[in-house]
Each structure stands twice: as C-alpha cells, then as structure tokens.
C-alpha cells in the first residue's frame, strides 16, 4: 500500500486536533473582562505549547514519510495508535491549563500531559524502528547507518518527555522548561536536517 | 463520476469524526485530579475502541474504493448514509462511557453503540453489493468469485455487531469482547489481504 | 485562478460542517437511558435531514464546479458567502431539534432552518448565474441553453426552501415534508443528470 | 522542502477554524424563540465578520504561496505561528459577541479581537519579508520591486488592525467599521491583482 492516503488522512487528524485546542477557552465573567482575559494566561501558554508540539510532531511525521515509501498493515496500525494519542492531546492540554488556573494539582496535570507526549514519542519511534527493520518499506536511498541516526533523533522525544513526566512531580515548571527545550531542538532552523 | 472526490470527502469526514471523539472528555473535579483522571477509565476505553473502530472502517472503505472505480448517484447516496452513521459515532461513544462511569444502563448503552456499528456495517455491505451488481462500477480485474469473497469479508462486520447488539442485554462485557475480536480480525496484519 | 483549491477548501468546510452536526446531541438523564435515547427522536430527525441536505448541496457544488473551470475574485466572494451559511447550519439544526423536543416554537424554529437553506440556495444560484454570465469562467462545452437549464435546476432549491419558510408558520410538518421532497428530487438516482 | 503539503495542512486549519466559529451559538431560551434568535445579532455579526476575515486571510495565504515555491524550517515555523493565531480566532469572536450581547466591556472585547488580527497580520508580513529576503524561496519571476509592492499590500492588514486595536478604546464601532473597510479592500474584486 502506497503512503499518500495515510499521509493525507494523518494530516487531516493533525489539522483538526490542532484546531480543536481552541475549544478549551471559556469566556471569562464579563464584568471584569480585561482582567478575566489576563487571568487566562495558563490557557494561552498551554494552547501555544500544544500547538507548537503538534506542529513539531507533524514535521517529524512528514520527514518520516519522506523516507517511508510503502506501508503494510502493521505500520498502518502503529500510525493509527500514534494518531489516537495526538487526537487525545486537547484533553491533557485543557487539564494542564485548568490546574495552573486554579493553582492545584499542577504536578499530576503536568505529568498527565508529559505522559501523553511520551506515548506519542514512543509510537513515533516504534513506527520508524518497524519501517527500518522491513527494508522494503523504506526508500532504498536511506542507508542502515542513516536509519540508525534517524532513530536516535526520534528517540530524543520519548526519552525527553519521559524525563519530563517524572520531573513534573518534583517541579512542574522544570518539566515545562524541558518541553520547550525539546521543541526548540526539533524546530530550531539549523538543526533540522540530519546528515548522518 | 470518478471516485477521487468521494474518497477525499469521505476521508475528511472520517478524520473529523475520529478527532471529535476527544470532546467527550470533561475535566474532573480538580481537588482529586489524580483519582479523577483514573476514574475516567470508561472514557479512555470508549475513546480507544471508537478510534480503532473508525480506523478499521477507514481501511475497509479504502480497500473498497481500490476496487470500485466509478460511482453513480445511488452509490453516492449509500456512501452518504454510511458517513452519516460514522459521523454520529461520537454520540454513542459518549453514552457508552457515561453508562460505565455511572454504572447504570450499561446494557442499553452498549446495545446503542453496537446498533450504530451494525448500521455502519450494513451500509458498507450494501455499498459493496450494489457496486458488485453493477459491473461497470468495479475494476474489471475483480472476478465475480472475488467479489463474492469480498462480500463475505464485509458481512463479518454487520453480523458480528448485530450479535453484539443482542449480547449487550445479556452481558455488556461479552458484547465489548466481541467488538474487540471483530476489530482484531480486521486489523490483524496477516489476515488483511483477501485472496479468494 | 484555477478552481482546484477552491473545491478542496469548500470540501473541507462541507466535511467539517456535516460532522459538527453530531455535537447537538446531549447525553440524556442516565436513569432512564433507553427512554431518554428514544425521546431524542427530534435530534435524530434533524441530524439526518441536515446530513442529507449538506450531502445534496455538496453534490450540487461539485456538479457546478465540473462546469466552472476558472474563478475570479467575485465568484470567490460568492463561494465564501455560500460556505458561510453552510457552516452555520449546525445552529438552526440544533434549534429545530430543541423546538420539537420541547414542543414549543416549532414554527419559528422551522422557519429559521428553512430560511437558512433558502439563503444557501440563493447564493448557489447567484454563483451559477454569475459564472454563466462571464463565459470565460465556464467550460466552453456548456452551451447557453444548457446553462439556462442548469440554472432552472438550481432555482428549485431556493424557491422550494423559500416556500417552506412561509409554510412553517402554517404547519411545520408540511414545511418539513417539502424539505424531504426537495432533497429526494436532488438525490433521486434517475433525475440526477440534466440533459438540456 | 516543497510547499504543497504546507498549503494543504494550512488549508485544513483554515477550513476547520472557519467552521468551528458556529460553536459560539447557544440556543436561546425557547419560550421566546423568535425574539431570542433576533437578540443574537451580535453573534451573527461576529460570525459573519470572522468568516469573511478568515476567507480574506486564506486568499492572501494562497496568493503568497503562489509566489513562494520552496520552504525552509524558519518559514515553516513562521507559518505555524500564523496558523496558531488563526485557529485561536473563534475565541476572540465569541468574546466579542458576548460583550455586545451583554452591552459590557465592548472596548476590551473589540481590542482583544483586533489585537489577534494584528498578530495574524504581523506574522503574514513576517513570512513574506523572510521569503523575499531569501531569494531561493521565491518564484524567480517575482522581481525585487514586485516583492516590495506585495509587502506594502500585506502591511495594510497589521497596520489597519493595529489602528483598530487602539480605536477600540475610543469607540468600538469605529474599530469595527475599520475591520469592514480592510476586508472590503482585500476582497473587492477590482483591487485583487497587484501589478507593481
């Protein structure tokens, strides 16, 4: 099976998941609108973070499917599970914003958010490992050494987010700083092209 | 009429229906966030099940349109009805999760969910039967014997879900076990390609 | 400007508007789930009607863009206004279902719904009339006589829905019967191809 | 990186953001349905304005990507930020409608809305400036003079909306009149093609 439709379908899920993030915003009590809008800062932060995270995952997904040229049933299943956690992201995002808004359970909320991102990263890495193990799914131009180097790059996500999940119980802000670092790594212009 | 646009439109509906499933999640009372998130297990289960069900239906829809090469008005109408029940799925999913969350009316909720899947399956089978009866809509490479074998494969869905609808009134968990079995059958790597 | 992107963008709006219709369903009081689900019949009816209406509009939109081969700024503006009322449809649908659910203000709700459909139809006809008046936007294979015949076909929508809007104040069910008739006309297999 | 996927992904976000605008509508108290629907005029106005604004931004985005033929990581990042504010628009739209509905805090709500549009415009201009500064991203047919002329055209948005943000504190209706003027400028048929 050729990968065009999988990419188009995945793009649809990415675009919708990213756009549904806005639904977490609730209109504040109107008598103090200016202040109410300012007090929503945890929602703005959570929205921006999730938007950028999904943007970075989308870029990684595309990069992966530049190298994967064919799909079999197992890859399709892994991709569906990957999308399942991406489409789930608006919920941990809302939980995170609410916890910082009410200043309570910030550790659990941050760990829940980071845990979701860890699973997204694990599934992305699993997809790549599987594709790399079935050489007929990969573009023949990708050498085994390059496949290894790409795998290392993909591993940064789940490992980094896994550490962030644990860090959340020590200090949620430290965990959030790590999210920002991971995304800066993935999105930073210079670092983008892997040349193994 | 050529089938590209129908497939693209259907893909859009699939991608959106699958992504709207997340809207069933409500933030639990924040004072007991950890426990609250754990207690949402019926929602996680229902979300995952519906996501995988829609994923499996999407794959079947694609497989069908690999063999259907032309569409007429009647096929278009059947496809619209098929999509109507797929886009409806987030509602039975939410009803199912709520019933298990409150431990009440689990039989009715499971039957409602299974009934919706039965109708989705009936319409998928009807589309295929109609296309197979109008030979000019099918790829000429599909022999009448293959068309019959494919029809049998499509029938597993509505029959299995029909049985699950009745089972729900005996034991909802038995019904859910059957859902999982049907989807494992459709998604299991080895079983995917039909060679009649 | 070539029409591919306009069609793809319009398809996206159609697919999303049609899928958002499900959000009107609210979980009924769980103690009487079976009865609660049955009492939602106005919502099921409204959902199915709107789904089929949007399906029929989508087919008409495609048929129109089979004949329109180029777009200018004015056509783009008319198309944006057309989409604006289609994307609005989930609201009148919810209003209609609520009115029949509570057995009150059914006339106003039906007129509101029919009025929205009338505007959708007026804008579809306006798009076609504009395209037909600028011969360089149309496929040269469409003769002026055919363009007139197609326009008549498009006029059935706004005129029929306009009558339904007025009928709603006499008897809402009569108005709804007219909706069903109009859609049967557009979707009925035999009647689909216009041969002017 | 070629720009097709970026455009397709952006189109998805545009189509979804524009369609989610309908979710701001809440069913009015049913006993006074006719009056209740009329009293929603601020929601209709806000909905129509945002729909047309997103339509105009979509056209500008397309025009831009007719001239941009390649994308690098930095352009991708700017585009993601641009989409982030477009997908956010349903929230300021709902805030604006609510403020006019309750006749309170109209200045803050209008400024919040105009401020969001200003940021959308700033990011659109930044994308174009960046692409124009990296000549390998642009279609070679675009001369440096044309690139400057196009930049001027793009600047009308952020400057106009910036002024509208300040005007909101003097008179919200003046600010809204300016929105309408800016969109009339972008959408007005004659003015569309820039010939520098």
Which are the contacts of D31, defined by CB distance < 8 A and separation ≥ 6? Answer: C104, C105
Structure confidence by residue, pLDDT tens digits, A120-160: 999 999 999 999 998 888 888 888 888 888 888 889 889 99
Answer whether D85's CB lies under 8 Å from D120's CB.
yes
CA-CA distance, B63 to B73, in Å (whole number)? Answer: 20
More confident residue, A184 or D43: D43
Q: Which among B9, B90, B112 has CB closest to C22?
A: B90
Q: Please answer yes or no on whether C5 and D11 come within 8 Å at the CB atom.
A: yes
Q: Give the residue from D9, D54, D82, D99 with the most A CB atoms within 10 Å of its CB, the best one to mutate.
A: D9
Does residue B174 have a pLDDT over 90? yes
Judge residue B145's burial from the number of C-beta atoms within 10 Å of its C-beta, 0-12 exposed, 13-18 middle, 19 or more buried. exposed
Rounded-to-integer distance, Cα B132 and Cα B70, Å: 12
Q: Is the separation of the CB atoms in D72 and C108 below 8 Å?
A: no
**Chain C residue with minimal CA distance to D40?**
C91
Backbone angles phi, psi at C142, to 5 degrees: -85, 115
Q: Scanning the structure block, which residue is given the tokens 């298990």?
A: B100
Q: Do A16 and D16 touch (CB under 8 A)?
A: yes
DSSP 8-class letter at C29: P
Q: Does C25 touch chain D (CB under 8 A)?
A: no
Burial of A51 (0-12, 13-18, 19+ CB in 10 A): buried
Mean predicted confidence (pLDDT) in A50-57: 92
Residues of chain D in contact with residue C102, where contact means CB-CB under 8 angstroms, are 30
B19:A20 CB<8 A: yes
From C77, C98, C112, residue closest to D187, measured CB to CB: C77
Q: How many residues does chain A have?
A: 196
The answer to which of A64-68, A146-150, B132-136, D27-31 has the lowest mean pLDDT is: D27-31
Instruction: Name all chains with 3 or more CB-CB pairs below 8 Å to chain C.
Output: B, D
Phi, then psi, of D55 in degrees rounded to 5: -55, -45
Partners of residue D6 in chain C, C-beta under 8 Å: none
Phi and psi at C157, nearest 5°, equal: -60, -65
The Cα-based distances of D166 to A114, D125, D160, D185 in angstroms read: 39, 20, 10, 20
Query: Which residues of chain B does A99 touch, with a Cβ-Cβ cutoff of 8 Å?
Result: 30, 33
Q: Reply yes or no on whether the pLDDT at D196 is more than 70.
A: no
Domain ranges, ordered by start, for chain D: 4-22+29-191
Chain D residues in contact with A25 by the CB 8 A cut-off are 91, 94
Say what the pLDDT of residue D195 is. Answer: 40
Q: Tell me: pLDDT of C196 over 80.
A: no
Residue scoring higher pLDDT (A186 or A35): A35
Half-sphere exposure in the Cβ direction for A141 (13 Å, CA): 4
CA distances from D190 to B154, C70, D195 (A): 54, 17, 12
| Average pLDDT score over residue span A166-182 | 93
CB–CB of A160/A115 below 8 Å?
Answer: no
Cβ of residue A70 closer than 8 Å to a chain B Cβ: no
Nearest chain B alpha carbon to A101: B30
**A19: closest chain B residue by CA:** B19
Q: Is residue B83 within 8 Å of residue B116, measured between CB atoms? A: no
In chain B, % of residues over pLDDT 70: 94
**Euclidean distance between CA atoms A83 and A96, whole angstroms:** 20
Which chain A residue's Cα is nearest to D105?
Answer: A33
B/e letters for A171-180, b = 16+ CB within 10 Å, e = fewer, are: ebeebbebbe
- CA pair distance C116, C109, nearest whole angstrom: 11
Partners of A87 on chain B (C-beta within 8 Å) are 18-19, 21-22, 51
Instruction: Report residue D193's pLDDT band, with 50, 70 and 90 as the boundaries.
Output: very low
Helix axes B41-67, A73-88, angle to 10 degrees: 140
Whether B79 and C18 have beta carbons less than 8 Å apart is answered as no
Residues 6+ apart with CB under 8 A from D102: A30
Strand partners, A107: none
Q: Which pLDDT band, with edges at 50, 70 and 90, does B63 fall under?
A: confident
Q: What would the mean pLDDT of D159-168 be, rounded to a whole number?
A: 96
Q: pLDDT tier at A196 (50, 70, 90 boundaries)? A: very low
C13: nearest CA partner in chain B: B12
How many CA atoms lie less than 13 Å away from A36 in the CB half-sphere?
16
Contact B34 A105 (CB under 8 A): yes
Tell me if B132 sits within 8 A of B179, measured CB to CB. no
Give D81-146 as a DSSP string.
Answer: HHHHHHHHTHHHHHHHHHHHHTT-SHHHHHHHHHHHHHHHHHHHHHHHHHHHHSGGGB-TTS-HHH
Only one residue has tokens 């076909």, namely: C153
Angle CA D6–D9–D13, to nearest 5: 130
Give me the DSSP letters along D18-41.
HHHGGGG--PPPGGGHHHHHHHTH
Please say whether the beta carbons of D16 and C16 come within 8 A.
yes
Searching chain B, which residue's CA lies closest to the CA of residue C37?
B112
* Contact (CB<8Å) C72/D48: no
The answer to whether A88 contacts chain B (CB < 8 Å) is: yes
- At A50, the pLDDT band (50, 70, 90 cuts) reads very high
Average pLDDT, rounded, for chain B: 89
């Amino acid at each position: 099976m050729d990968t065009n439709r999988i990419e188009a379908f995945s793009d649809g899920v990415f675009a919708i998941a990213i756009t549904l993030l806005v639904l977490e915003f609730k209109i504040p009590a109107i008598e103090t609108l200016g202040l109410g809008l300012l007090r929503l800062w945890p929602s703005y932060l959570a929205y921006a973070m999730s938007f950028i995270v999904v943007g970075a995952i989308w870029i990684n997904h595309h990069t992966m499917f530049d190298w994967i040229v064919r799909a079999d049933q197992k890859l399709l299943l892994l991709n569906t599970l990957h999308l399942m956690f991406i489409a789930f992201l608006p919920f941990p995002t809302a939980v995170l914003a609410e916890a910082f808004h009410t200043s309570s359970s910030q550790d659990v909320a941050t760990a829940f958010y980071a845990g979701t991102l860890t699973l997204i990263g694990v599934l992305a890495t699993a997809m790549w490992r599987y594709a790399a193990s079935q050489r007929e799914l990969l573009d023949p131009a990708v050498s085994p050494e390059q496949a290894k180097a790409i795998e290392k790059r993909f591993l940064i996500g789940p490992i980094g987010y896994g550490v962030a999940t644990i860090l959340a119980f020590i200090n949620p802000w430290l965990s959030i700083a790590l999210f920002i670092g991971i995304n800066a790594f993935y999105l930073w212009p210079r670092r983008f092209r892997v040349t193994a």
